[in-house]
A and B are shown apart, each in its own frame.
Chain A
Amino acid sequence: MSVEFDQKIHDTLADANLQLAIYGSTARLKQGRIDRVGELPDYQELRTQANAIKKHTIENLDYYLEEFERNVEARGGKVVYCKDATEVADFVLGLAKEKDAHLIVKSKSMTTEEVDLNERLEHHGLESVETDLGEYILQLAHEKPYHIVAPALHKTRYDVADIFTERLHVARETVIEKQTAIARAVLREKFLAADIGISGANFLVADSGAVAIIENEGNARLTTSAPKVHITVAGIEKVIPRAQDLATFLKLLARSATGQLLSVYASFLAGPRRAGEVDGPDEFYVVLLDNGRTKLLPDRAKRQSLYCIRCGACLNTCPVYRKIGGHSFPWVYSGPIGAILTPQFMGVAHEPALPFASSLCGACGEVCPVKIDIPKILLELRSDVRKSEAREKQNRLEKLAFRGFAWLVTHPALYEMAGRIAASMAPSEDGGWISRVPPLMNLPPVKAWLSQRDLPPPPRKSFRELWRQR
């Protein structure tokens, strides 16, 4: 376990207010999900259907991405594939320069958190403003989301009052409705002045070339309607085959995420505004981001991690997340889904303790609306961690052996003596190849080496001896 992971866990456990905030918020979200899915008589059938659609799409991902791309471009939009954070930032920066854009409004997107898009854009002098209330608070506080769905779950109204007073230079305000009104007023100006809107996507609909965005506040609608340019940044795994599949996913998503029947706004956006439309963007871009996702595809069992629809239900139900909170996790994704995504995106060595930070109680797998077998993947990742540690150990032994060898060859007298001893001990009486050594020499590394190879018999005289007799 890294010192940082250990420290963050201890800090979170020691903070009583934080414990209360995490426990209370996740309890409400958890109960909301239980109540709403309980009302759905065909809830299990919907999960099975959602899983089957995701499985089919991921197994044929290239086909559906190309279909999506064709349909976006047929309606006047443009699709851009990016392999990593730098490519996304370069694309946005290039477009901003071309459009002489300075102000960008952003709606909530975990994918852009992955690539630190705001920081990269601001580094190049652009103003990029988060517009989801929780994300806006965190941007002002320079923090990462604490939870996939409720990013500022750990902030109290008093924290928000401090942040607004310090960063927005407004009079201290601790009434939540009034704090919301302050943010609304500031952000309203930004929406109306912005040159570009950047959104995430909950789904990319292949047969329509459409982006589906689910939200409660209306900031994603404003982000995608008010500015003249709309850019969607989405992971390649977000594609689904048909608009009709949304009937299944929409029924599951809001119920699992927040305990709502439907979120307040579900936008289905297919290209720039069309002839005669009074508003809407003139330009429509979709960035399809890899950023490590293709690394998850070869393994049949683990590729199901890419089915995730980011509802956060596994966080709310997880006894570990509910104690250690979101910021203890070493990357943007927290909770059980973070514990399986992070090692696969960043490599198991990024935080080897992560797959072990679970009681394997199975609750995450049970609540997952797309039936990702999270406990099974955690076990596979634990095995990967152990294998990687064993490899590391073997490497250390090898290094030690070679250091000894280096010392030996730089001491000629000792080297010659060692050669003579080795030759005299070699069990080759008849001059044949050696495939076994005496039991005393049969140490594990030697044994492993000889299990695949034979040694040539030692020469009667060494090179040095022959040289001297010349």
Chain B
Amino acid sequence: MSRENILHRIRTALGRSAGQAVAEPPAARILVPEVDMETRIASMRTRIEALAGKTFRAASQEEARSIVAAELEGKTAVASNAPYLAECGIGELAGVRCGITDREELREVCAAADVGITSADYALADTGTLVILASPAEARLVSLLPPAHIAVVPRERILTGLDELFAVVPHPAEATSSMVLITGPSRTADIEQFLVRGVHGPGAISVVIVG
């Protein structure tokens, strides 16, 4: 509607002409520290637990599966189509639905499930963050609609922090239509600054680090 008008006003105010090139922006500030894997894992666990999340360390994919099974203890769950979850055999656990490729079905199953199970493309050690790139393997609602979220993450995906994430994925839009960083359970403090978990997203989060 007002495209040309607004761009013209901007250019007039700034003394620029249409299509005029710009100087290089200040260099992006990306500083990746060197942190060994055990320290990263320890930091990851400390940060998640500080946010009332749970963490587990599994030596193998089989152990990861038993941890998830114990966490589910009879609850219903929906698992994403992540190849790593399939490798761990999560879809074979009792009560777990997986392999959904239809939008309406996914929405219904996620709205009814007690737990959503995903992997993560990356994790950020210094903030306890999971990074999930939406794809046919990772639908958005699995980590969002159920009241609890379990993520199963191989240790080599744990990065030091935000700077390393944007060093490894400088152009997320080329890889995905949606990259989400998840740091702890959904929360609000909108009434009297009183902390309540699980307002719209999952109120509980568990991360199983494998390896």
Contacts and interface: CB of A to CB of B under 8 A. Distances in A.
B103 A279 contact: yes
A251 B162 contact: yes
Contact of A294 (B10, B101, B139, B200): B10
A254 B89 CA distance: 37
Nearest to B202: A218
A263 B198 CA distance: 14
A9 to B, nearest CB: 23
B7 A62 contact: yes
A324 B100 CA distance: 54
A125 interface: no
Q: Classify chain A's interface size.
A: 35 or more
B2 A151 contact: no
A279 B9 contact: no
Nearest to A261: B127
| Residue among A45, A176, A207 having the largest count of chain B Cβ atoms under 10 Å | A176
Contact of B187 (A156, A217, A266): A217
B25 A278 contact: no
Contacts of B20: 63
A44 interface: no
Given A133-B188, A225-B140, A278 B196 contact: no
Contacts of B181: 250, 262, 265-268
A60 B191 CA distance: 41
B14 interface: yes
A260 B187 CA distance: 12
A263 B182 CA distance: 8
Nearest to A241: B25
Given A247-B165, A290-B9, 10 more contacts: A25-B193, A29-B193, A62-B14, A64-B22, A65-B7, A219-B200, A242-B170, A264-B183, A266-B180, A272-B177
Interface of A: 21, 24-25, 28-29, 42, 45-46, 49, 52-53, 56-57, 59-66, 71, 75, 80-83, 87, 90-91, 131-134, 137, 150-153, 155-157, 160, 176-177, 179-180, 183-184, 187-188, 191-192, 205, 207-210, 216-219, 221-222, 224-226, 236, 241-248, 250-251, 258, 260-274, 276-280, 288, 290, 294, 297-298
Give the 10 A-B residue pairs with the shortest CB-CB distance, closest first: A218-B201, A297-B13, A134-B190, A270-B173, A276-B136, A208-B173, A244-B28, A218-B200, A83-B2, A266-B181
